Amino acid sequence: MDGMTTTVAATTGRSQRRVRPRHFLMCPPTHFDVSYAINPWMDPAVPVDRDRAYAQWSAVVAAYERAGHRVDRLEPVPGLPDMVFAANGATVVDGRTLLARFATPQRAAEADAHRAWHQRFGVLYGGLAGARLAEPVAVNEAEGDFAVLSSVVLAGHGYRTSPDAHAELAALTGREVVGLELVDPRFYHLDVALAVLDEDTDQVAYHPPAFSAASQRVLAQRFPDAVIADDADAYAFGLNLVGDGRHVFMPTGAVHLRTELEARGYACVELDTSELLLGGGSVKCCTQEIRSLPAPRTAGPAAGEGEPR
């Protein structure tokens, strides 16, 4: 699937939007719970319906697979209730992987599970464990704060990821990394304040008040045609979405954002993630992308060990 592109007609008169099948790593919410509060959205006093969370997560997986994307599963670990938010475990660019170093002790052990998966399967997507799997020095929460585009990586800081981690990712990948300062604790990760709609053409959406004035200027200069999310969109976690260039997989409730995206020819796939939102995450938080080297895959993980099922 790597490198393949399918053209799909847009719903408006704009240019056709293109889908490149993606490879995602996700972790079932088998042990999902809100037993502590490490972001403003978490309240341990509110009970979690784990079966409902699992059904919602499964619907996200099914939506990806219907669109032609590959989903591998990371085995959940008892006692790590936030592992469902797999985006925070590692950042993979051109087969090079920077592992996470979590900011909070409650999630620190998740890094071991991600390390083990990437050590075992990284060679299959172009990563070479010894040379391309990087152990972090600075704190970073991976794709929670790293938004990968074709020409640049946008990197959040202010709450979870250290600016020093930006230099680590730049050195590993050879990509330009542009830091963006987050200033509202409700948007503690970049992926709840900014969304990549089309990685290949550098199309983004974002919520300006989540960023410092200087970072707002950077975004306005680099992305003059960006989609702007309003307060209601942002508070509904509407920007915690995954775009594949044609489809936008997004949580329900971001009415204005959906209207804007559809006007630009995107096909919006709304997904109920209300139970997962109790942990402060939605579609993107659940999704780590494996960005391979530009070469065909000739093998996959053994059955039951990471392959789709």
CB within 8 A of 20, min separation 6: which ones? 3, 4, 5, 6, 200, 244, 245
Q: Nearest to residue 30, comparing CAs of 2, 4, 64, 55?
A: 55
What residue type is 231 in one-letter code? D
CA 52 to chain CA mean position, Å? 22
Helix or strand or coil: residue 258?
helix
Tally Cβ neighbours within 10 Å of residue 159.
19
10 Å Cβ neighbour count for 69?
23
Instruction: Say if CB 165 and CB 184 are below 8 A apart.
Output: no
- What are the catalytic residues? 189, 285
H helices of the chain, in order, are 50-66, 110-121, 129-132, 163-173, 213-222, 231-235, 255-263
Pairwise CA distance, residues 157 & 134, whole Å: 20
Structure tokens at 227: 């989609």
What token pair was written down for 155? 């990197």
Radius of gyration of the chain (CA): 18
Question: 174 CB contacts (<8 Å, ≥6 apart)?
Answer: none
Cα angle, residue 237 at apex, residues 61 and 108 outer, rounded to 5°: 70
